[in-house]
Structure 1
Amino acid sequence: MPKRVLSVGQCMPDANAIARFLTSHFDVAVEESDIEIDTMEKLKQQSYDLVMINRKLDADYSDGIELIQKIKKSSDVKPCRLMLVSNYPEYQEQAVQVGAEYGIGKNEYRNPETVTRLASYLG
């Protein structure tokens, strides 16, 4: 049974790159969501093993860390691990402070450490 991943707020090239990266290393089914309301609806209806949220959602440029906070505070969503997608360590630290796992950057897909980090959620 593949693990379920929700990729939130990525532009089309990044969404494709994340899906390619994940499916080449793990047995996963990747779904996408563009905006907060759609994301919250999906999280209420489905369980996901990992939710990967862009630092700035491409569709409306809303803040991914704020979305993480809203998900964490919502009693309606199914339990899930949240992770920020950002190349900037300072934003990764902020995301961890609000309850996310330490995430990955878009420049890290080729790093073996990235696969190792994700394996604990998707392996």
Structure 2
Amino acid sequence: MSDAKPRVLDVGQCDLDHSNITRMLKECFDATVDRARDNAQVDHLLDFYEYDLILVNRIFDADASSGQDLISRLKSGDAATETPVMLVSNYEDAQDTALLSGAVKGFGKSALGTEETIKLLSLYLSGK
């Protein structure tokens, strides 16, 4: 993208986790963070905005939808996006499945704000 702030779509998080993720992204990267609670909101926002990164919760808080299914949908078929998609989950097996579906390496909520996570996110959000 351009010299504008990085823009992140955060999908499926509960209020507390969304707040914590947003705070970290704003403090570390001066990012604009949009929120989608479900698949319909994801589709709507993707119609209007381009994102530098899409963060996806393993299981959506609002309706228990599968984040893995969203990743598969976003990374395959006619709707495939070039935007990096990252799973937010502490479970290594879930991270492995996401990678096989086309996601980039993600992080767990327990690692939120750590140097390792910030370094990982900087691959997609620094220098925007």
- TM-score (norm: length of structure 1): 0.94
AA aligned to 1:58 is D
Matched with 1:118 is: 121
Q: What is the aligned partner in structure 1 of residue 78 from structure 2? A: 75
Matched, 1:8 2:8: no
The one of 65, 68, 72 aligned to 1:65: 68
User: For residues 7-56 of structure 1, what are the alpha-carbon distances to aligned partners after superposition, in whole Å with 9 as ceiling and x for unaligned?
Assistant: 00000000000001111111210000000111022123221000000000
Structure 2 counterpart SS, 1:53: strand
Q: CA RMSD in A?
A: 1.3
C-alpha contact 2:73 2:80 (8 A) present in aligned 1 = no
Q: CA deviation at 1:100?
A: 0.2
User: Which residue identity does 1:2 align to in structure 2?
Assistant: K
2:59 corresponds to which of 56, 60, 68? 56
Aligned residue in 2 for 1:103: 106
Q: Which runs of 5+ in 2 are unaligned?
A: none
Q: Aligned letter for 2:93?
A: E
Match of 1:85 among 60, 84, 88: 88
Q: Take 1:22 and 1:74, find their aligned partners in 2: how far apart are those partners? A: 30
Percent of paired sites with the same residue: 37
> What is the distance in 2 between the residues matched to 1:40 and 1:60?
16
Give the aligned partner of residue 35 of structure 1. 38
Post-superposition CA distance 1:52-95 (Å, at most 9, x none): 00000010001101111111125346531100000111111110
C-alpha distance in structure 2 between counterparts of 1:104 and 1:22, whole Å: 14
Q: How many residues align?
A: 123
Runs of 4+ in structure 1 deviating by more than 4 angstroms, as ranges, are none
